[in-house]
Amino acid sequence: MKTILSRRHFLNLVGAAGGSTAVYKTSMALGLMQESGPMAKLDLQDVSGRRKTIAILGAGLSGLTIAYELERAGYDVTIIEASHRIGGRVLTVRHGDTVDEMGQSQVCNFDDDPNLYFNAGPARIPGHHRRVLHYCKTLDVPLIVKANMSRPAYTYEENQFGNKPQRVSQYLSDARGFLSELLHKAVDKNIFDRPMSAEDLERMRLFAKSYGDLDDGGKYNGSLRAGYKKDGFVRPEVLHDPMSFDDLLNSRFWERGLAASENPDWGEPLMEIPGGMDGLIKAFVQNVKSPIKLNAQVQAVTLQNDGVDITFNRKGKREKLSVDYCFNSIPSHFMNAIHNNLPAEYMRGLNALKPGHGYKLGLQMKERFWEREGIYGGMTFTDQRIGQIWYPSTGIHSQKGVVLGAYQFFDPSGFFERMTPTERIEYAANCGDKIHKEYSKYIESGVSVAWGRMNYMMGCGAQWPGDSRERFYKMLQQPASGRHYMIGDQISYHPSWQEGAIGSAEVALLDLDERVRAANKVTANG
């Protein structure tokens, strides 16, 4: 009789033979588990009593994930962090905090108020970042919905629309209206590559009408979707006149905000941690008992036959730690300056990765003027170098608020990095004045983080130029000599996202678990 092996039965057999790690990997291979999670509880083999030592280089999110998981599996873990603080790029700045920028450190002068803070690194968590959400849930970190796009916010471009900010709702509605009108005309003329039936043409006409809010003749005359120009409650509404098609085309909003929320990572609804995104870091710290050595800068990484030696400088003293395995989240662009005997091809891979640039500025505003303009959360887009203005989704109707006054990620010119902190605030204030009346008058204080100048970072969001990812990625996911794991969002397809950082940790942990299980089997048999 033919036996049918169901996938569930097969996984049970795999589990019996190789433990939960093997089940996890096999589930992935069979396509039974989404690559983006949910991250299974990593049931790593317990090594208590067999003293396996671990060094984690860097106390950012990837390092803390490794510490949390390995500690629970009985490993002996030490974390070595160069900075004075834990969290790496997960940085929430509050009253009295020091921003450790090379050559010009700043102290945050926001009011001493738990609602006034600025997420200088991560600020958004999408619903498909299941690993991040897994830890938020496991560690009891609260989450709230964050408005990302806001239709009442603005698009402002210099020399467009008479130099006046336009409501996003109007741009979106009019752009859709005009495109739908074109589609309707194309249907009327039946100018398609393949013949269309009369029914199909009618369906397309109806689609165009509904998509663009066209009149019965297929014309766009403006729409309520663009928002009320005035009235509409106790008096009849007055709608906006549609923008001119030329204005729409000349504006480059379609490059910036038009489809922003259609990128899954920015798709509504997003989430955030109330009180600051470092809430997840704090939760890890509460749940990790292993020593975290701060102000300890790694200076050498030496592979040995049976482990790894780490040399670091702490408070002016050189210290050495010899461990069985090392997990390294130090930004790859630093590894050339850290003495090491990592294989030449491995180093070529690390050198191929280039640091990205990121810049954010937080401004404490003495009044929440944007709420008077009908804006509650979300962002304004602009072609000025500040890029965006974000309005807080929290603290609605309170007196003050912290606005993100500038956000640049893809500008490699170092424009803001070259400025002093005061110049950055002045620059952003000028840009803001073109969008909101008397914006600059509301600014009480500001603090900026130019990641390209931050100590122990000197960049963010690693880039893989050309074909470097194809060449080196798989190799860098493997441990050098079976002992040294490179981790962090830099070793992921999602650099600049926490999900990438935790994902890289997960891959490394599963690999270690497999090696340790295999080694234990040999010892037991042998």
Ligand X SMILES: Cc1cc2nc3c(=O)[nH]c(=O)nc-3n(C[C@H](O)[C@H](O)[C@H](O)COP(=O)(O)OP(=O)(O)OC[C@H]3O[C@@H](n4cnc5c(N)ncnc54)[C@H](O)[C@@H]3O)c2cc1C
Select the residue interacting with ligand X from 22, 42, 47, 59 (CB under 6 A): 59
Q: What's phi and psi for 452, nearest 5 deg?
A: -70, -10
- 152: contact with ligand X by CB under 6 A: no
* Residues 6+ away with beta carbon under 8 Å from 437: none
DSSP E strands in 241-377: the ranges are: 270-272, 292-293, 296-304, 307-314, 317-323, 325-328, 339-340, 354-356, 359-365
Select the residue interacting with ligand X from 81, 101, 174, 181 (CB under 6 A): 81
CA-to-CA dists, residue 10 to 24, 28, 128, angstroms: 13, 14, 28
Q: For residues 62 and 384, which CB has a smaller minimum distance to ligand X in the complex?
A: 62
The DSSP secondary-structure symbol of 118 reads E
- 392: contact with ligand X by CB under 6 A: no
- 425: contact with ligand X by CB under 6 A: no
Select the residue interacting with ligand X from 58, 152, 276, 479 (CB under 6 A): 58
Using an 8 Å Cβ cutoff, are 350 and 330 in contact? no
How many Å is the maximal CA-CA distance in the chain?
Answer: 88
CB of 337 to ligand X, least distance (A): 8
Q: For residues 60 and 432, which CB has a smaller minimum distance to ligand X in the complex?
A: 60
- 326: contact with ligand X by CB under 6 A: no
Select the residue interacting with ligand X from 39, 330, 350, 508 (CB under 6 A): 330
Which listed range, 99-107, 212-220, 325-333, 431-439, lies at the site for ligand X (CB under 6 A)? 325-333
Residue given tokens 């259609």 in the structure block: 262
Which listed range, 142-150, 397-405, 498-506, 510-518, lies at the site for ligand X (CB under 6 A)? 498-506
User: 431 in the Ramachandran plot: left (φ > 0), alpha (ψ -120 to 50) or beta?
Assistant: alpha
- 301: contact with ligand X by CB under 6 A: no
- 380: contact with ligand X by CB under 6 A: no
Select the residue interacting with ligand X from 253, 327, 391, 451 (CB under 6 A): 451
User: 377 in the Ramachandran plot: left (φ > 0), alpha (ψ -120 to 50) or beta?
Assistant: left
Give SS3 for 170: helix
- 358: contact with ligand X by CB under 6 A: yes
Select the residue interacting with ligand X from 26, 78, 83, 384 (CB under 6 A): 83
Q: For residues 128 and 517, which CB has a smaller minimum distance to ligand X in the complex?
A: 128
What is the Cα–Cα distance from 482 to 511, expressed in whole angstroms?
A: 9
Residue type for position 368: R
- 121: contact with ligand X by CB under 6 A: yes
Residues lying near ligand X in the complex (CB under 6 A)? 57-63, 80-83, 88-90, 121-125, 297-298, 329-331, 334, 358, 360, 451, 456, 460, 488-489, 496-501
